[in-house]
Amino acid sequence: MTDQASAPVFAIQRMYLKDLSLEIPHAPQIFLEQAQPSVEIALDVEAQQLADGIFESAVTVTVTTKVGDKTAFLVEAKQAGIFEIRGVPDDQMPLLLNVVCPNIVYPYLRANVADTVQRSGFPPIHLAEINFEALYQQRLAQQPEEPAQDTPGIYVPNSKH
């Protein structure tokens, strides 16, 4: 029975849409534009400890769509999940919170963005799949030799998040 008490625990407690913003600054005239729009996408991942063994992992995306120099629409969305993670070695926590958890959260974010854009009168934006491990490794490579305990986008165990 003691083996079960020390066995690692990883469980999803809740998924939720933490923030959602939609702007269509040039409506209704923008709906008359015939030119092909350009789309810019910015993505961020963050994690924080909420309580002992309880963590929040959030993925934020900003989608800016322009027709010429006019913004057709701007969507900012943050999807988050609360995870119970216990009995996992500290050296594995950053990988869990910056890769595994965002992989679970991201499909909900994709669906919410596509739905929001479509409900606003535009064709839906289907966000591409993201390799969160590559994103995490890229961020690690950009850090100084001694990573700060509060580096945005990367969870470091025992930080003051």
* Most confident by average pLDDT, 2-6, 140-144, 154-158: 140-144
pLDDT digits over 132-145, tens only? 999 999 988 988 76
pLDDT digits over 88-107, tens only? 999 999 999 999 999 999 99
CATH superfamily, domain at 12-125: SecB-like (3.10.420.10)
pLDDT reading at 15 higher than 70: yes
How far is CA 123 from each of CA 37, 73, 115, 117, rounded to the nearest angstrom? 11, 11, 10, 7
pLDDT digits over 44-77, tens only? 999 999 999 999 999 999 999 999 999 999 999 9
Kindly give, in sequence order, each residue whose CB lies less than 8 Å from that of residue 137, ignoring residues fewer than 6 positions away. none
Domain extent listing, the chain: 12-125
